[in-house]
Amino acid sequence: MMLYIVPYLFYSLLGLCGIFLQAEFFSFIEIFHTKPDLILIFTVIAAIKTGWKNGGLAGAVMGFWVDLFIGGYFGVNIVVFGCTGMLFGFLAKRIKLNFYPGHFFSVCAGTLFSGFLYLICLNLIGVGLPWLSSIGGIIVPTAFYNAVLMLLAMPFIYLYRRFRGTKIAYVDLTGGGIILTSNNTPVDQSVIKRKKSNRKKRERIEKLKKQNRHNDPRQNRGNEKISSQRSQREKNTGTKRRKKKNIVNKRDQMKKPRSKSYERSKK
């Protein structure tokens, strides 16, 4: 169970930190009257690192917190960030994006894609926004700001990769948990798949055992036999105790003092 809970808590904390920094810190550092979208950056990097399933789930989790705290139409950010994570996780398998320029271009493209998708979702709901002003005044400046942040963050990412010690290498939301590595050892995907398959086998075996315990007539018969055997043993022990008492009583009667007439006849 913890293999499922801990990764979701990790991305929830990451999303809350991103929302706090966007609201408090980057509100003082605006470029073209726009703030960076840290949640989108986290979603795209998570998707590139972990694949389309984890990328979509990570985006949906962080989008939930954006909808909850920032406001707006609830569910739109869940769909937007979830679809963005799935798309870039899928593209990372087809195109090599897990390097520094790949992160830069994927964040720019992800910002543009999520902005267009956000406008489409609002139009489907019935909230029409002007396309040209929103693209030129919000989406493109946000993409530029995100690209600048990625350029500034690349040295820190490089140092984190070169750091020799235990560090987070892979966060799996589909049951693999958080995988730590030491001394820059690469994460083997076959090991993750093996862990998942072993966990699923254990869960299936436990479910089958529980079902067999409740539904197996043989086991019920066995329980009935055991209970009948216990009752027979109790009955046997009861009869044995009664027999012993009867024997003891007879002995006591035999040991009673004889009458005087009997003694006189003997003489």
Q: What is the pLDDT of residues 47-58, one digit of tens each?
A: 888 888 888 888
> Which single residue is written with the structure tokens 């795209």?
44
pLDDT at 198: 74
Q: What is the pLDDT of residues 95-117, one digit of tens each?
A: 776 666 777 788 888 889 988 89
The answer to whether 173 and 53 are in contact (CB under 8 A) is: yes
**What count of Cα atoms within 13 Å lies in the side-chain half-sphere of residue 7?**
23
d(CA 218, CA 222): 6
What are the phi and psi torsion angles at 167 (to 5°)? Answer: -150, 165
DSSP-assigned letters across all residues of 167-230? EEEEEETTTTEEEEESTTPPPPHHHHHHHHHHHHHHHHHHHHHHHHHHH-HHHHHHHHHHHHHH
pLDDT string in tens for the chain (267-residue length): 566 677 777 778 888 888 888 888 877 777 777 888 888 888 888 888 888 888 888 888 888 888 888 877 788 888 899 999 889 888 887 877 666 677 778 888 888 998 889 888 888 887 777 778 888 888 888 888 888 888 887 777 767 666 666 666 667 676 666 766 665 566 666 666 676 777 777 778 887 877 776 665 554 555 555 566 666 666 566 665 665 556 656 555 555 555 555 555 555
pLDDT at 240: 57
Q: What is the pLDDT of residues 20-49, one digit of tens each?
A: 888 888 777 777 778 888 888 888 888 888
For 98, which DSSP code?
-
What are the phi and psi torsion angles at 92 (to 5°)? Answer: -65, -25
